[in-house]
Structure 1
Amino acid sequence: MFIKLLQDQFISKLTPIYDEGEAQQLFLFCLSELEGKTRIDLAMNPELTTVKLAQWQTTLDKLVQQKPIQHIFGKAYFYGYTFEVNEHTLIPRPETEELVEWIIASVPLNQPIRILDIGTGSGCIGLTLAKELPQSQVALLDISSEALQVAQRNAKALDVKVDFIQQDILALKQLSSSYDIIVSNPPYIRQLEKVEIKSNVMEYEPHTALFVDDSDPLIFYRKIAELAVENLKPQGQLFYEINQYLGQEMLELLTTIGFKNTELRRDMMQNDRMTKSVVL
């Protein structure tokens, strides 16, 4: 079958669920994974055919059911690296890449540092930092043993050595070590915001990594900041990915806890998305 016809079929069946741009991206993801081809390959050879029609159709059926394409293929791409993901881990988002880039830009080159990634999930933040900052010593913390198992496999695949800690951060009274950088992308979506969440997220990604109670939406940020202010080294830095609607509340929280220098930064979509705080 001509792949061009499959492309038309994908767009036709997926546009009621996704916008056309998203549908095109899903098709191109499949083109890469199933055929090892790119958009340019298809443009250069419009009569490109496939012998994997059954796999194409099975994949399309799952996409129509709104299963994330990263779960279908068991992988996601983040900061140029490939990460295993499954139902126990969040799928890495592009805005999180911006957070990682900010951290890397904030670190003196070739200086040994200790980094703690809290709520690591697949390990995309901490493992990327370990790859990009090979002089660093990185620890990955998560409450989920299943998520840590995924992170361990990702660490092996990326050939980096990091420490793994299984811990409920809310139950922790003190960190066991001091760090130069603490970073976290904790649960931050309020229950009232569930109406904004697409089915492919609601039905397939772990709710414990997504949602917090409306009555205390900054519970993880408060706890981590309280630990960080006591366990960061002088000039140590705390980085967060945050709820876009709670930027000012985050600034107030961090100031109250004792951070004197906090910067709020927007992501590529111009949403308040990340903070950086420094211990003086």
Structure 2
Amino acid sequence: MLLKEIKDIFHKELGKIYPKEEIDSFFYSCIEHYLDLERFILVIQPGITLTKEEEQPLFEALSELKQERPLQYILGTAHFMGLELQVNENVLIPRPETEELVQWILDDCQVERSRDLKLLDIGTGSGCIAIALAKHLSNAQIYALDVSEGALNVARKNAASNGVDITFLHDDILDTKLELDFDIIVSNPPYVRELEKKEIKKNVKDFEPDTALFVPDEDPLLFYRAIIDFAENHLSEKGKLYFEINQYLGEEAKALFHTRNFSEIELRKDMFGNDRMLKANVPSRGL
């Protein structure tokens, strides 16, 4: 079959679910992944024909896309800050907003490059935050924690394939006995309230892990409180906390840090204009 005919089939089968530009992106990502063909192939070779064997993975991917399974899970890979990462249903798909959080940390760490740093990523999932930090902070000792052994298996593979050394910890921050101190703690914890499920797209709600997404309506800052409790005893002097947050709870999260006497609390918007990131310095422990 002609490759351009398969592209037409993608649009016909997926047109009621996705916008045209997204379908184009799906198609070109699939041919690049499965056939190692560049996006411009149809421009220079409009008559390119595939064998039945070459067609098969494209039609299998199409079938899964019709079920609204995320393309990253279909291909088994996602990209984050120039890194290629393995992903599956044990981990969240890395988002561009999280890249902004990592970049904030890297910008702040410019002045810290003269000394060694010890960092902890809580709820590491695919390892995207920890691995990106390890790639850019050669002087840092990085730890990454997750309650899910399935997620940690993915993160370990990603660290190895990207050539970074990270200490992974299987632990629950809600009940941790970890006795290590850190200069920086970062987390993208579960923060979507159950009441917000109706706003979540099917490809997220039905496929990405609930435990990494949702928190009870009555206690949406559950994980932030637990991490603050840990940070009060395990952040070094002048240590910093960085969080990704629920866009609807920016002020509530900020107020929580004020009540716990953290300083230099800063709330930042993401590229879409939503409250998405928060930084705070460790409270003074006095004499």
Bigger drift between 135-144 and 46-55 goes to 46-55
Q: How many residues align?
A: 279
Letter in 2 for 1:38: E
Question: Which of 170, 174, 191 lines up with 1:170 in the alignment?
Answer: 174
Letter in 2 for 1:225: I
Q: How big is the shift at 1:270? A: 1.0
Letter in 2 for 1:26: F
Tell me the distance in 2 between the aligned counterparts of 1:273 and 1:28: 31
Bigger drift between 97-106 and 222-231 goes to 222-231
Tell me the distance in 2 between the aligned counterparts of 1:47 and 1:279: 62
Tell me the distance in 1 between the aligned counterparts of 2:129 and 2:276: 15
2:62 corresponds to 1:60 = yes
Aligned counterpart, 1:254? 257
Tell me the distance in 2 between the aligned counterparts of 1:218 and 1:155: 29
Question: Which of 227, 231, 237 lines up with 2:230 in the alignment?
Answer: 227
2:283 corresponds to 1:273 = no
**3-state SS of paired residue (1:181):** strand
Instruction: Give me the TM-score of the superposition, normalised by structure 2.
Output: 0.93
CA spacing shift, 1:42–1:268, aligned 2, 3 Å = farther
Tell me the distance in 2 between the aligned counterparts of 1:152 and 1:247: 32
Any residues of structure 2 matched to 1:185-224 within 5 Å, and which? Answer: 185-224=188-227
Aligned counterpart, 2:79? 77
**3-state SS of paired residue (1:39):** coil
Q: How big is the shift at 1:70? A: 1.2
Q: Which runs of 5+ in 2 are unaligned?
A: none
Bigger drift between 112-121 and 194-203 goes to 194-203
Aligned counterpart, 1:39? 39
Deviations 1:250-280 (A, max 9, x none): 1101111221111111111111111111226
Aligned counterpart, 2:92? 90
Instruction: Give me the TM-score of the superposition, normalised by structure 1.
Output: 0.95
Aligned counterpart, 1:146? 150
Q: Which runs of 5+ in 1 are unaligned?
A: none
Tell me the distance in 2 between the aligned counterparts of 1:31 and 1:101: 31
Contact kept? 2:250, 2:267, Cα under 8 Å: yes
Q: How big is the shift at 1:110? A: 4.5
Contact kept? 1:229, 1:258, Cα under 8 Å: no
Bigger drift between 225-234 and 177-186 goes to 225-234
Q: How big is the shift at 1:6? A: 1.9
Aligned counterpart, 1:5? 5
What fraction of aligned residue pairs are identical, expressed as a percent? 47
Aligned counterpart, 1:26? 26
Tell me the distance in 1 between the aligned counterparts of 2:115 and 2:134: 13
Tell me the distance in 2 between the aligned counterparts of 1:177 and 1:143: 17
